[in-house]
Structure 1
Amino acid sequence: MGFFDRFADKKPAGQPTPAAPVTSVPTAPAAAPISAGGVLPQLAAAREKLKAKDLPGALAAYESILTTAADRSDVLMTISADLGTNGHVREIIELLAPRYDVQKHGAAAGLNLLQAYIVVRNADAAQHLLDLLFSLQRPELEARLVGFSNAVSELFLSETEEVNAPAVPAAQAKVDIASISKPIWFYGLEAHAPRLLANKEGKLRRVAFAQLSLPGLPDAVARATQPEDALGRWCRGLPLWFAETFMAGAAYEPIAAVGVSSAKHYALFPSEWVAENIRQLSESVQGGLDYVLTGSLRSRNDDFELTMRIWEVKKFRELKAFSTRWNPASADEELKKFHDLVRTYMEWTALPAGHGLPYSSPASPSTHVHGLAATLTGFFGEKGVLAPEQLALGAGFQLQAAQANPDDARAQINLVSALLRAKQLGLPDEPAALAVARAWLATEAASAAGLGAVEV
């Protein structure tokens, strides 16, 4: 898709520097209520242009409306809400920032403008506006403003890390997004689909789990050109694990979204996804998306901090953020807790018995995550998405996951899938991995999954 050009710089290409909110405009007399013959039809017409994806036409209509109605808080609120709902965040800033007055327009439009600043990661403007909103001394807003204050603090921290990292050349920052719509171990086992995957019925919620960003990574460009390392497996394996989980859920149709370069290597994202990336990802998927889960991963001396954000695509707003930390000794325990937390918030429920492969959480999520990421690399290598020098031969990570999760059918099938791909590519046999896979294929669990006749 090539929509990650924004990673070439802290601000997306072509994005104007938002002006600070205006606070010194004299207070105008209260405007008359919107009537059927006044501003309302013009706002409705602009909204229809947005729905028809005629952004220039909508902006021209808004500019016309604001020439006579810029003093009205309801007009600014409506315009910012309509633009935000349709994912046009920068346009909120362009229209509102030069006109917004906290005393005249109140908090509602200001909160929309504040969210826009946070989404485009303009920490200075967000902090300035936040101070103005706090100055209203509205007790009913205090909890929300404190939440925004925490988000702005995170922006300043992230900016500090990015300043200390080398700039990413634009030519190297352009990537495509590959969407994985089935468990990564499923590819090559399609003949066994009735047992492995269920045909879900009814209205399903469409959700994407995006590759994790790595804020502050000092060598993102150079590192991305090298064969996958542990950090790369973490940032791709975690969304693969969550997507795999939600494929076994009753109400969801998930995908995993990972970045690849046209130079046939993986991409690493040194900045977090923003609303524009989410909108374009949704538009690239037939039928669109309901939710996108993005995240960031920070690592220092084998200590990791993961933050995952849940976005509602319809309104392009962040619903919730979850965080966790782990080290090598606590990884499995903390990842299990985090996995349960996200599933609970998303109201995940397993499919009924007899509908696809029964779901159970892995005993060792850390090994399973790395095993899934390794299988993705093998799959991309087979399809020519990755160059041969990017591939790590062997099924070592899949074997570790199968051994650490002996009762998890998905970990065992992931090993089988890797060995079948190695056989197809004519790679040397791996006796230890073959022994584990063949032992599992002889079990009742393998027969129940429809894989009892598979030979590796």
Structure 2
Amino acid sequence: MFKRIFSALSGKSGKTSVSTIASPAESKASRSTGNRELISAYDAYGREVKIAPKEWRDKIFLPNLQQKWNDANELYGLILSGLNDGFATDLRPAAERLVEIDSIPERSHSVLGIVLMKNGQLDAAEATLRAGIAKAGATGTLLTNLAKVFAERGEQAQADKTLWQAVQADPNQRNGLGWWAVIQRERDGEAGYLRALSTAAALPGSWLAQLWLARHHLEHTNFVAARALYVQVLEGGLFDSDALMMVSGDLGNNGQPSLIFELIGPVFDEHKHHPMTGLNMLRACQDLSKVDEGEALLARMYALGIPPIKHHLDEFAQAFQEMRKQAATGSPVDQRTLEITTITLDRPIWHYGLRDAEWLFTQKAGGSPEVGFFAFSKITDGTQHAESQREDDLGRLSRAIPLYLAEAAHYWSDYAARGYFLIVEGGGPVLAGGKSDGDALFDIVPSGMEFFVTGEIGCTGESADGQWKITLSLWNCRTRTEQASEDGNASQEDLGALVLALEARLLNSIGLKREQPLDTFYPRPTADVIPVYLAELGQAFMLTMVADNHAPRSGLWGERAMLDYPLNMALRWPESEVPKLMYISGLGKAFDYRSQVLPEYKERSLQLLREVIQANSVATSLAPLIWKAFSMTSELQAHMQNQSANAHPAYKAWLERVAS
């Protein structure tokens, strides 16, 4: 279930990469990483988990070594991870096994040599490395590690000679070149360091020394010289997958985002290059206000499915969304050209998207009295005009609060609840201004309706300092009068308590209250949960509009955030069933409108499915919808074929709808 930072970020199969022990210039950082108090891992949802080293070693790391005993690439990666985490004393058997099974002798002999050195077995390490040289030749990696053996013994002259041979064999081997250059700096200062890099840069096939020279130029604000070296390396095309990370990082650290965009953008391939390069490019897009390019790159990076970088991607997505929000302005529209219609919802918004799973929810008896809820209007000062704009908190709550009140009536009364919302066909929801004319609505609602509710909402102030005002009007359809009016004011912090208070007054006014919810798994959200709950209802409404072709897919502002939201709720409140159903509902809607980001959610969704099955959650029975969303045909077909003859007809019919 858990993935380490090392393996998740590397993006490599390990087929060609090899290791060296850390050079003196890097050993301090390596030791501090290996001896940190807690080890970071990531679960299937991309959440960071801190684990004590002993627990990681005993319960995860050592069992994983045994599981990968016959897989050279996986075993190699685990050994490197164990070295980083300070488990060298446990690694000799695994490293010896790697020598037996690995088809890359340079890699296997290098890593065994490192393990032996870490355990103080210098003679055995030398013998191993020389055996590797006999098989693979005098490669830069093997020679660098051999030089380290000599250095550990205090044989400095032999170490220097061997290290220079390593640099000549491979001038782009980071540990070897870095160690050699540091030695020259210690002996001759900065001038010696630069001469060493220039000497290495003259070797055939060299490119890493050029990048370090370019870093020096950047740090001394000689951007023209740095750019020339970068162009030389990039046009040569011989750099490795980590080189672009180094270049983009150096450019970013020295305030050159435009050069990141110019030089790295054309050559970056997220499937080949280090993912940190992508993050550096996203930062450059943010710094340069290139929102379109940034969001396009975000889609490519999200598709990699690398848990440790997901929260960084989410932060960039939020930043780009905020930039769009700041740039967006309302545009006047001619109301005469708009096709405005009313859509009716006859169930809670998160029941939609589940392929009419009526067998899952208790149904109201036929002929139940009805109560309707209209979208709230905006409190105005009397001046208003029609315009098209992106959804804001006011618009979202104008729909989310009536959605919640309708849901409350559905679950806590014997009324059948309906919601009514004005939309522009092909555009999105309408936020009207001014108090609704209840008298004009009596002839619109169905004849069986007992009551309907209208409302107004407004806010003064910004964000956390905002002061909300809500007014509800309860209209009696039999007497055709306004039977009651409720209102209240609240800060952002107290908005949840106000909504619950208005709900309680409303249910008391209409009567037919239930002591238990219609579905036993349904809890009433608490005041601290209500703001989160309302945000999800508003987002679920937008997903429904797009899935039903009432609004364009381009109108989804922050689609990933909308799909993530109920999953985060489910993880925060694992004992609650409703967020799980909300999440699966969102997947169903995303499948309906053919979301391009849906494939990114497969692993998270399957992990949630495993957990709900283990917990015997009511969401377990919706597994076929998850399988369908991610094209898991064999699982879906097997489930359908395994249905017993006495399976509920409604469930079997639902399976057919899902499959089709």
TM-score bracket relative to the smaller structure: 0.5 to 0.7
Amino acid at match of 1:270: G
**Are 1:409 and 2:573 matched, yes or no?**
no
C-alpha distance in 1 between matches for 2:540 and 2:469: 24
C-alpha distance in 1 between matches for 2:616 and 2:400: 25
Amino acid at match of 2:422: G
Amino acid at match of 2:435: E
Deviation at 1:411, TM superposition (A): 2.9
C-alpha distance in 2 between matches for 1:281 and 1:401: 37
- Map of 1:440-451 to 2, 5 A cutoff? 441-442=612-613, 444=615, 446-447=617-618, 450-451=621-622
Amino acid at match of 2:505: L
Amino acid at match of 1:294: T
2:538 is aligned, of 373, 379, 382, to: 373
Amino acid at match of 2:407: E
The CA deviation string for residues 295-334 of structure 1, in whole angstroms up to 9 with x for no partner, is: 0001111211111110001222111111122222222233
Secondary structure of the equivalent of 2:343?
strand
Structure 2 vs 1, CA of residues 348 and 368 (structure 1 numbering), >3 Å: closer, same or farther? farther
Give the match for residue 354 of structure 2: 189
C-alpha distance in 1 between matches for 2:572 and 2:483: 34
Contact kept in structure 1, 2:547 and 2:590, CA below 8 Å:
no
Contact kept in structure 2, 1:214 and 1:296, CA below 8 Å:
yes
Secondary structure of the equivalent of 1:309?
strand
The CA deviation string for residues 2-61 of structure 1, in whole angstroms up to 9 with x for no partner, is: xxxxxxxxxxxxxxxxxxxxxxxxxxxxxxxxxxxxxxxxxxxxxxxxxxxxxxxxxxxx
Give the match for residue 596 of structure 2: 427
- Map of 1:33-432 to 2, 5 A cutoff? 170-171=335-336, 175-190=340-355, 192-200=357-365, 204-216=368-380, 221-222=386-387, 225-262=388-425, 264-282=427-445, 285=446, 287-301=447-461, 302-350=466-514, 356-363=519-526, 364-392=529-557, 393-394=559-560, 395-403=563-571, 405-424=573-592, 425-428=594-597, 429-430=600-601
Deviation at 1:193, TM superposition (A): 1.5
Contact kept in structure 1, 2:412 and 2:513, CA below 8 Å:
yes
Secondary structure of the equivalent of 1:384?
coil
Name the count of aligned residue pairs: 284
Deviation at 1:169, TM superposition (A): 5.8
C-alpha distance in 1 between matches for 2:393 and 2:591: 25
Amino acid at match of 1:421: K
C-alpha distance in 2 between matches for 1:234 and 1:360: 21
Amino acid at match of 2:359: P
C-alpha distance in 2 between matches for 1:372 and 1:243: 11
Give the match for residue 111 of structure 1: none
Of 212-221 and 328-337, more deviation after overlay is shown by 212-221
Of 369-378 and 392-401, more deviation after overlay is shown by 392-401
The CA deviation string for residues 377-427 of structure 1, in whole angstroms up to 9 with x for no partner, is: 111112211123322312244345445654442233112211232244243
C-alpha distance in 2 between matches for 1:438 and 1:220: 47
The CA deviation string for residues 71-121 of structure 1, in whole angstroms up to 9 with x for no partner, is: xxxxxxxxxxxxxxxxxxxxxxxxxxxxxxxxxxxxxxxxxxxxxxxxxxx
C-alpha distance in 2 between matches for 1:370 and 1:445: 27
The CA deviation string for residues 127-183 of structure 1, in whole angstroms up to 9 with x for no partner, is: xxxxxxxxxxxxxxxxxxxxxxxxxxxxxxxxxxxxxxx999652687321110111
Amino acid at match of 1:345: S
Structure 2 vs 1, CA of residues 178 and 220 (structure 1 numbering), >3 Å: closer, same or farther? farther
C-alpha distance in 2 between matches for 1:412 and 1:279: 37
Q: Which has the larger radius of gyration?
A: 2
Deviation at 1:230, TM superposition (A): 1.7
The runs of 5 or more residues in structure 2 that have no matched partner are 1-330, 628-660
Secondary structure of the equivalent of 1:279?
coil
Amino acid at match of 1:289: M
Amino acid at match of 1:299: C
Structure 2 vs 1, CA of residues 449 and 271 (structure 1 numbering), >3 Å: closer, same or farther? farther
Please give the TM-score of this superposition, normalised by the length of structure 1.
Answer: 0.55
C-alpha distance in 1 between matches for 2:544 and 2:591: 13
Structure 2 vs 1, CA of residues 310 and 412 (structure 1 numbering), >3 Å: closer, same or farther? same
Deviation at 1:244, TM superposition (A): 1.4
Structure 2 vs 1, CA of residues 408 and 258 (structure 1 numbering), >3 Å: closer, same or farther? farther
C-alpha distance in 2 between matches for 1:315 and 1:174: 32
Deviation at 1:207, TM superposition (A): 0.7
Structure 2 vs 1, CA of residues 171 and 198 (structure 1 numbering), >3 Å: closer, same or farther? same
The runs of 5 or more residues in structure 1 that have no matched partner are 1-165
Contact kept in structure 2, 1:409 and 1:445, CA below 8 Å:
no
Deviation at 1:267, TM superposition (A): 0.8
Secondary structure of the equivalent of 1:362?
coil
C-alpha distance in 2 between matches for 1:431 and 1:327: 39
Higher relative contact order (Cα pairs below 8 Å, separated by 6+ residues): 1
Secondary structure of the equivalent of 1:318?
strand
Amino acid at match of 2:617: A
Amino acid at match of 1:418: G
C-alpha distance in 1 between matches for 2:468 and 2:351: 29
Structure 2 vs 1, CA of residues 280 and 359 (structure 1 numbering), >3 Å: closer, same or farther? same
Please give the TM-score of this superposition, normalised by the length of structure 2.
Answer: 0.39
Structure 2 vs 1, CA of residues 368 and 318 (structure 1 numbering), >3 Å: closer, same or farther? same
Contact kept in structure 2, 1:179 and 1:255, CA below 8 Å:
yes
